[in-house]
Structure 1
Amino acid sequence: MSGSTVFDSLLFRDMFGTPEMRAVFSDETYVETVVRVEVALAQAQARAGVIPQAAADAIATLCDPAQLDHEQLRHDTAHVGYPILPIVTQLAAQCGDSGGYLHWGATTQDIMDTATVLQCAQGLGMIAAGLDRLRDELRQLASTHINTVTAGRTHLQHALPVTFGYRVAVWLSALDRHAERLADVRRRDLMVQFGGAVGTLASLGPGPEALRIRAELAVELGLRDPDITWHVARDGLTEIVWLLAAIGASVGKIGMDVALMCSTEFGELAEPYVTGRGASSTMPQKRNPISSELMVAAAKLLRDKSSAMLDAAMQDFERATGPWHIEWAVIPEAFLLLSSSLAQATHTVAHLDVDTARMRENLGLSGGQILAEAVMMALVPDLGRQRAHHIVYEACARAAESGTDLVDELLRTPDVVVSLGEDRIRQLSDPSVYLGHAQAMTQSVIHRRASN
């Protein structure tokens, strides 16, 4: 057994991350990405005429991350405080005389930031794909239940009828907007970093070559070329983690709703059944909503990741004295958490057990009072809003106190009978006649395709 946190624990890691996302942020991938950046930098500098092309070619040919001594890297990184110098030292030895041109004019943070951005680029691609899969499943679920009437709840109490498809479409609408935000973030925030000691590229002289190198490096790595060094302007990475947290919150809302609807008293949903899933060690009947619980937990943890990034964004002068290090822990964990949350949500939504009969049955729990607003609004033309509200309010209070149905109380209220008539009162007791534009709005979301 190994691992001391939920992110590397053999027991918990697949509940708080996915194998695919762990691979993106693994030590092996990070070192390979650093090597990729160093090689790309050498190629860009050769094209700009700053280092010999032969040296750049040798660096590209001879730098081999598989041949690095990882135990030595671990030891040296703990000693130096950063991994780049230990990596460059070993790479330079691999390259012989050409190794003298490695890391030319760069500073440690240039390489680390660019490597982190490349990892974020790959991670965001996976998040976008996972988000699309979840949106597709939600779109299908909303379509299937566009006419499934269920209780709309406010403050955990019956409010008005809605459809289950409408509730799902509300979930989906938030994720559609997140898909648009994700596209914007990938365009705006995935920037190359190359500035040298304090960001001015002074080490490469006053000529145009320095800025050309940065532009060439951006092209080489498929990243945006920024106008100015962002060593201490961390808004890009802060926005990335904020978006991960915001998506996690929206997925967590789905988990919260599903978990509540899975409760015995509601009984309207159940997570997909797999033998042993959500089982209790003492209560054989239990079928706990484990996926929903993990979605909620991820949302709460992601909030703290975003908060930590905001703290880390306040960096002093031209190089930070500690906030930068916060990102090293926060960014991988944020990606892991959301990758897991999306996977759990997609599995749950794709195979969700929806009990439409129980939904219909639950509509009657309040003795027809879920249609109180419908009756009140029908009375308004004759009685005015305030009087209509008072009459229906009193009828609801009598029904609740006596345990009778609201329709019965209304039929015993002369002003209501005179205004509406018995047939109209009974018609208004049908939840399906008071759905407003729920189906039209649901249809609009179903047919919408967010750009991404």
Structure 2
Amino acid sequence: MIKRYTREKMGYIWSEKNKFQKWLDVEIAVCKAWNKLGKISDDALKEIIEKTHIDDQTVEKIHELDKIYNHDVLAFVTAVAQQVGENGRYIHLGLTSSDVIDTALALIMREALDLLIESVDELLEILKENAFRYKDTVMMGRTHGVHAEPMVFGLKFALWYEEFKRNKKRLQNAKETVSVGTISGAVGTYSNIPPQLEELTLAELGLKPEPVANQVIQRDRHAEFMTAMAITASSLEKIAVEIRHLQRTEVLEAQEPFKKGQRGSSAMPHKRNPITCERITGLARVIRANAIPAMEDIALWHERDISHSSVERVIMPDSAIALDYILHLTKNVLKELVVYPENMRKNMDKSKGLYFSSKVLVALVEKGLSRDEAYDIVQRNAMKAWDTEGLMFKDALLQDPDVTSRLTKEEIDKIFNVGEFLKNIDYIYKRVFENS
């Protein structure tokens, strides 16, 4: 991922330095296991632990050797073994490359997921705070982009909060799924190592053993990691798209923050564009797109090929880094969101009270009309109000004998009460937030 979209902690998790460190962590855990099984002496193990390290010079050495070997794991093994000397021969004893790569990748994915879950928790707090801040902020609910019925602005945040509880669960499930390792040899048969070595190694690393592997950990696990991130990114885009719509000049009910000194357009000084939300939308597309090759990586030839390897070197860091970034952007947007309740009220008035149509329909049905008869009457008056300048829907109804013969003015006045749309908001909030 480009530097512009890379935050420091997540960037380091996917750095080459951290990758090689995780490879070394696996190798040392294996050496500790061999020591417990009597293969490596205490002195040899102590020397391996004390002398092996990953720093910038080691990374450069690995790169130099890789140019010769054209095999990064062998380059890594040689570089760290040279740090030890004679006892370096025990490093990578009995292993195949994927034992190290896949087990280390599990450690990296786990680190990344811990950071993402922490960020989702922070977003949940912001969503909850805004849900209650705007619990009484009445606005127009829209379907198909058209006025539907009144709601409260806080309900949008409550909905997003509930969705991100599910996203958190998906990421937690993905962490459970990917937190497995394998130390089982060339085709997973433990041909050069005892199964006990795997048990001891993975216990040291805090991972579970893959119950059955071939040469690799199966890539359905990694696809779950990628799709959990893709769904989370899509939910962030959902929030961003809503804010983009609400920020349109003709709507202007909410607006992403615009900092002092910020400039919106090179040509038009008046512009305050939703560029942050647009960036969230764009990067969500990248993350979603990366989930497809992750699923295609599931099908490998026989016990393993490396068609997945080059793909994962791109899609995994890019997706995790991008998701970390747009989570950060979304939190900032929602913490400092600019809200215009007065515009919400003005926009409600633009539909001339037509949003009460459903309640008038119900009232006429309750007076004995068939649903079709009542629908025709209400629709006729709604269209009349919409097409007649200065005519409100309520006034159109009061001029229609088909309505006034069945509903009194007092009954119509009672129907035209916005509070009737909002009477169950507390019920919804209780379901969402009662145990949170």
TM-score class, shorter: over 0.9
Inter-partner Cα distance in structure 1 for 2:47 and 2:311: 36
Inter-partner Cα distance in structure 2 for 1:151 and 1:50: 72
1:270-313 Cα shifts (integer Å, max 9, x gaps) = 11231243621111111111221122112111111111101112
Q: 2:293 aligns with which of 304, 308, 311?
A: 308
Q: Does 1:430 align with 2:424?
A: no
Aligned-pair distance for 1:78? 4.9
Return the letter of the residue paired with 1:221.
L
Contact kept in structure 1, 2:130 and 2:157, CA below 8 Å: yes
Return the letter of the residue paired with 1:53.
D
Return the letter of the residue paired with 2:366.
P
Question: Structure 1's 340 and 433: CA in aligned 2 closer, same or farther, altered over 3 A?
Answer: same
Question: Structure 1's 278 and 314: CA in aligned 2 closer, same or farther, altered over 3 A?
Answer: farther
Return the letter of the residue paired with 2:409.
E
Provide the residue aligned with 1:392 in structure 2: 378
Relative to the length of structure 1, the TM-score reads 0.91
1:330-357 Cα shifts (integer Å, max 9, x gaps) = 1101101110111001111111111111
* Structure 2, gaps ≥5 residues long: none
Contact kept in structure 2, 1:106 and 1:196, CA below 8 Å: yes
Question: Structure 1's 369 and 343: CA in aligned 2 closer, same or farther, altered over 3 A?
Answer: same
Matched length = 433
Aligned-pair distance for 1:232? 5.6
Question: Structure 1's 362 and 67: CA in aligned 2 closer, same or farther, altered over 3 A?
Answer: closer
* Structure 1, gaps ≥5 residues long: 1-6, 205-209
Provide the residue aligned with 2:259 in structure 1: 274
Inter-partner Cα distance in structure 2 for 1:438 and 1:307: 39
Q: Where does 1:112-191 land on structure 2 (aligned, <5 Å)?
A: 112-191=101-180
Provide the residue aligned with 2:2 in structure 1: 8
Question: Structure 1's 332 and 284: CA in aligned 2 closer, same or farther, altered over 3 A?
Answer: same
1:359-415 Cα shifts (integer Å, max 9, x gaps) = 111111111112211211122111132221111111111112213211111111222
Provide the residue aligned with 2:201 in structure 1: 217
Inter-partner Cα distance in structure 2 for 1:298 and 1:438: 34
Contact kept in structure 1, 2:109 and 2:178, CA below 8 Å: no
Return the letter of the residue paired with 1:28.
K
Provide the residue aligned with 1:207 in structure 2: none
Inter-partner Cα distance in structure 2 for 1:134 and 1:79: 47
Inter-partner Cα distance in structure 2 for 1:147 and 1:379: 30
1:240-285 Cα shifts (integer Å, max 9, x gaps) = 1110010110111001101111111111111123124362111111
Question: Structure 1's 366 and 99: CA in aligned 2 closer, same or farther, altered over 3 A?
Answer: same
* Identity %, equivalent residues: 27
Inter-partner Cα distance in structure 1 for 2:6 and 2:150: 37
Inter-partner Cα distance in structure 1 for 2:291 and 2:259: 34
Q: 1:26 aligns with which of 15, 21, 30?
A: 15
Q: Where does 1:436-447 land on structure 2 (aligned, <5 Å)?
A: 437-447=424-434
Contact kept in structure 1, 2:150 and 2:355, CA below 8 Å: yes
Aligned-pair distance for 1:79? 5.1
1:131-163 Cα shifts (integer Å, max 9, x gaps) = 000000000000111121111111111111111
Matched position secondary structure for 1:65: coil
Inter-partner Cα distance in structure 1 for 2:379 and 2:408: 19
Return the letter of the residue paired with 1:366.
S
Provide the residue aligned with 1:368 in structure 2: 353
Contact kept in structure 2, 1:411 and 1:417, CA below 8 Å: yes
Question: Structure 1's 128 and 292: CA in aligned 2 closer, same or farther, altered over 3 A?
Answer: same
Q: Where does 1:396-407 land on structure 2 (aligned, <5 Å)?
A: 396-403=382-389, 404-407=391-394
Of 238-247 and 377-386, more deviation after overlay is shown by 377-386
Q: RCO greater where, 1 or 2, for CA within 8 Å and sep 6 or more?
A: 1
Contact kept in structure 2, 1:149 and 1:432, CA below 8 Å: no
Matched position secondary structure for 2:209: coil
Question: Structure 1's 27 and 400: CA in aligned 2 closer, same or farther, altered over 3 A?
Answer: same
1:149-187 Cα shifts (integer Å, max 9, x gaps) = 111111111111111111111111110111122222222
Relative to the length of structure 2, the TM-score reads 0.95
Inter-partner Cα distance in structure 2 for 1:420 and 1:76: 88
Inter-partner Cα distance in structure 2 for 1:325 and 1:55: 35
Question: Structure 1's 77 and 369: CA in aligned 2 closer, same or farther, altered over 3 A?
Answer: farther
Provide the residue aligned with 2:337 in structure 1: 352
Provide the residue aligned with 1:248 in structure 2: 233
Inter-partner Cα distance in structure 2 for 1:285 and 1:86: 57
Provide the residue aligned with 1:3 in structure 2: none
| RMSD of aligned Cα (Å) | 1.7
Aligned-pair distance for 1:29? 1.4
Inter-partner Cα distance in structure 2 for 1:140 and 1:374: 32
Q: Does 1:419 align with 2:403?
A: no
Aligned-pair distance for 1:67? 6.8
Inter-partner Cα distance in structure 1 for 2:286 and 2:372: 46
Q: 2:94 aligns with which of 101, 105, 111?
A: 105
Contact kept in structure 2, 1:278 and 1:290, CA below 8 Å: no
1:78-99 Cα shifts (integer Å, max 9, x gaps) = 5544421101001111111111
Inter-partner Cα distance in structure 1 for 2:63 and 2:300: 27
